[in-house]
């Protein structure tokens, strides 16, 4: 479809339905598209689940404490600092919810932000080539997790080990996105090739 704004003259542009038709008529791109969508769905599900955990923090930390002092006690006895940290976090959340429940509104917005970011992936799921910029933005956001944990963690009194756990979300989160970006590279080039002169 020629004449799209912001598209150089002579560049062939496809609508979403046209993209799927092209993929379906070419075996290798169709396989790539299916693989890309599978990885995007995997990333999306993990992102949404991660966001939802920001709602019931008091319940989750209670489960963690019960696990550390109960069935997992033989293991956690070797890491008393970790158990003490779990207890402190749970106590802090309980006291905060009891006396200052409005502070939990901040983590409600954190959960909401995860869900909104997940909604932004709807575009790449429909047309990953045209919306590849969203995937690049998500990969950049994963990378930004590391400096945030390194800078804000010490300011908030977060133990070093826990900061590494936080950073692992960015490291493991970016892996499926990098796989997707690498798979889309040849397709992105092919859809940006100038249309043959008639």
**What pLDDT digit, counting tens, does each position of 24-65 carry?**
444 588 899 999 999 999 999 999 999 999 999 999 999 999
Residue at 184 is within a domain: yes
Query: Could you read off the pLDDT of 112-147 as tens digits, one per residue?
Result: 999 999 999 999 999 999 999 999 999 999 999 999
Residue at 11 is within a domain: no
Residue at 151 is within a domain: yes
Number of domains in the chain: 1
Query: Could you read off the pLDDT of 147-170 as tens digits, one per residue?
Result: 999 999 999 999 999 999 999 999
Query: Could you read off the pLDDT of 64-110 as tens digits, one per residue?
Result: 999 988 888 887 788 888 889 999 999 999 999 999 999 999 999 99
pTM here? 0.79
Give the Cα separation of 128 and 136 in Å (integer).
Answer: 11
The answer to whether the CB of 190 falls within 8 A of the CB of 19 is no
Residue at 6 is within a domain: no
Give the Cα separation of 86 and 3 in Å (integer).
Answer: 59
Residue at 102 is within a domain: yes
Q: In which domain, by residue range, is 98 found?
A: 16-190
Residue at 152 is within a domain: yes
Give the Cα separation of 153 and 29 in Å (integer).
Answer: 43
Residue at 2 is within a domain: no
Residue at 107 is within a domain: yes
């Amino acid at each position: 479809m020629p004449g799209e704004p912001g598209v150089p003259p002579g560049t062939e542009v496809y609508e979403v339905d046209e993209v799927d038709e092209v993929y379906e008529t070419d075996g290798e791109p169709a396989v790539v598209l299916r693989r890309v969508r599978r990885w995007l769905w995997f990333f999306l599900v993990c992102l949404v689940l991660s966001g939802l955990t920001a709602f019931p923090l008091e319940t989750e930390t209670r489960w963690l404490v019960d696990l550390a002092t109960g069935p997992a006690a033989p293991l956690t006895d070797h890491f008393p600092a970790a158990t003490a940290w779990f207890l402190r976090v749970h106590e802090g959340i309980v006291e905060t919810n009891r006396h200052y429940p409005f502070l939990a509104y901040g983590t409600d917005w954190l959960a909401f932000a995860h869900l909104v970011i997940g909604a932004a992936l709807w575009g790449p799921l429909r047309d990953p080539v045209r919306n590849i910029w969203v995937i690049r933005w998500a990969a950049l956001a994963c990378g930004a997790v590391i400096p945030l944990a390194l800078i804000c963690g010490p300011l908030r009194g977060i133990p070093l080990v826990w900061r590494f756990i936080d950073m692992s979300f960015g490291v493991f989160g970016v892996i499926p996105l990098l796989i997707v970006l690498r798979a889309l590279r040849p397709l992105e080039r092919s859809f940006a090739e100038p249309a043959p002169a008639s």
